[in-house]
Amino acid sequence: MIRLAPSILSADFSKLGEEVNTIEEAGAHLIHVDIMDGHFVPNISYGATVMKSLVGKTKLAFDVHLMIENPDLYIDDFVTENTEFITVHVEACPHLHRTIQHIKSLGIKAGVALNPATSLSVLDYIIDDIDMVLIMSVNPGFGGQNFILSALDKVKELKEIKDITNSNLLIELDGGVNLNNVKEIIDAGVEIVVAGSSVFNVDNIEKRVKEFLETF
C-alpha cells in the first residue's frame, strides 16, 4: 500500500487544524512533520508544541522528520499518541545505532534520512534495525524546491536491497514531489510519498489530495 504524507510545512499556520482536517477527510494517510533548527539546515520551521496542538484534533499519525543537530536531546519531545515514525538524519547522528535504539525503546518506528549526496552504504550496518529509510530528493531546509533526479536511482537501488533481504523496511521520499513525477517515484519503489507545496499551495487542497491518491 502506498501512503501519502502531506507536509504541514507548507500549510497555512493560521488555520492549521482546519487544513489538517481537510487532508484527513480527503484520505491522506500521515501528517509529515518537518522540524528544522537553523543549524543542520538553514531554516527554522516550528517545534513540538505546534505538532502537539494537533493531538486530539486528528486521527492521522505523525511522521516526524527531524532536520536538527543533536536530535537525541529532542526525540522524547515528539512522542505523542499520534506519533508513528521519528526519522533522524544520518548526517546529524554520530551514534546512529544508539539513537535508533532510543527511538524504538519509546515504542516509535525509527527512520533514517539521507541527504541527496549521501550514499546508501551508510545503511549497511543499521538497515536491520530500522523501520524506514527517507530518501531526500531535495537538500533539506525548504519547501517548494525542484526534485533532484538522482534520488530515483537511489530509491531503485534501495528497493533492490530491500527485495534481496526480504525486509519490511519502508521506503519514503521527500522533496519536490508533484502530480507530474509521483507515478515515476512510486514505480521506483517509494511507499510513503511526502508532498508539501504541491498539496497545500493550491486553491483546493481536498481535490489535490484526491488527485494524488488516484495516481497510487
- Cell matching residue 117: 549526496
Euclidean distance between the first and final Cα of the chain, in Å?
Answer: 8
Write down the catalytic residue from 12, 34, 129, 203.
Answer: 34
Report the distance separating Cα 127 and Cα 112, nearest Å: 9
Active site residue 163: no
Residue with CB nearest ligand DX5? 196
174 an active-site residue? Answer: yes
7 makes contact with ligand DX5 (CB under 6 A): yes
**Under 8 Å between Cβ of 179 and 200:** no
Residue 63 near Zn ion by CB under 5 A: no
Site string for ligand DX5, 65-94 (x = CB under 6 A): x-----------------------------
Residue 63, contacted partner among ligand DX5, Zn ion, none, CB below 5-8 A by kind: none
C-alpha dihedral (162, 174, 87, 76), degrees to nearest 10: -160
In the 8-state DSSP scheme, what is residue 55?
B
Interaction between residue 176 and ligand DX5 (CB under 6 A): yes
* Smallest separation, CB 34 to Zn ion (Å): 4
Judged by CB under 5 A, the stretch of 29-37, 94-102, 163-171, 198-206 that binds Zn ion is 29-37
Residue 97 burial (CB count, 10 A): 12
